[in-house]
Amino acid sequence: MAKINKSEQAYLEIRKMIISRQIESGQRLVERTLADRFDVNRADIRQACSKLEGEGLLVSGAKGGFFVISLNPQQSDDLFRARQAIEVGAATLAIKNATAKDIARLEEIVELMYSLAKNSMVEGFYEADLLFHEILVASAQSEKLLKIYKSANFMLTSSTSGKQNPKTLQVDARKHKKIIQALKKRNLSELLKQVSWF
């Protein structure tokens, strides 16, 4: 068993609630309620929330208290660019660092995407798309980078639910296949052309 203290426990719990969207964007976290719920002290909750704040998942209000992050359009754009940059950088590194296993995993996902596209399963396709890009970033072989990317991804998808058009699913799947091909060929410019969707 991992020996975790109360504040860490609270941190994990609250984090889970945020990630799983049990608490919506912009909502206040009331300390006493959480303290009761998780059977920990208010001080532990505050510690947990502070940690989450450092992580960027929470912000503290002007009049005190913690709130789930919610981005205004400008911040959202800013973060979008950051994520874009990370993905491009990751792809570049992936050219050198991607393992055979990574590529196999990517191919697996693309096959899945084709199936989902055929059946117009947009939600599933969206999930697969997310996963594909995460694996691509993971191929750069940097846990830290992946963590950052996931965090950015979460914050963006929480505000702007960029839904796919069912019509373009097939096209998108093909695009992802091209990414893999470029990766296999170690062709950077071709890879970047596919990755940077701007």
104 is a site residue for DNA (CB under 7 A):
no
Angle, helices 100-118/169-184, rounded to nearest 10 degrees: 170
Q: Which of 24, 26, 27, 30 binds DNA (CB under 7 A)?
A: 30
Q: Which of 1, 54, 63, 72 binds DNA (CB under 7 A)?
A: 63
**Separation CA 72–CA 176 (nearest Å):** 30
Is residue 194 a contact partner of residue 182, using CB atoms and an 8 Å limit? yes
Distance of CA 32 to the CA centre of its chain: 30
Which residue's CB is nearer to DNA, number 40 or number 195? 40
Number of residues that bind its own copies (CB under 8 A): 48
SS3 label, residue 186: coil
**Separation CA 56–CA 50 (nearest Å):** 10
Here's the x/- map for its own copies, 98-137, by CB under 8 A: it reads as: ----------------------------------------
**Separation CA 38–CA 41 (nearest Å):** 9
Q: Which of residues 137-176 bind its own copies (CB under 8 A)?
A: 140-145, 148, 152
* Cα atoms found within 13 Å of the Cα of residue 85, Cβ hemisphere only: 8
Distances (CA, A) of 111 to 116, 154, 172, 190: 9, 25, 12, 21
25 binds, among its own copies, DNA, none (CB under 5 to 8 A by kind): none
Here's the x/- map for its own copies, 177-196, by CB under 8 A: it reads as: -----------xx--x---x
Residues that bind DNA (CB under 7 A): 5-7, 28-33, 40-44, 46, 60, 63-66
Residues that bind its own copies (CB under 8 A): 3, 5, 7-8, 11, 43, 46-48, 50-56, 60, 62, 64, 75, 78-79, 81-82, 84-90, 92-93, 96-97, 140-145, 148, 152, 188-189, 192, 196, 198
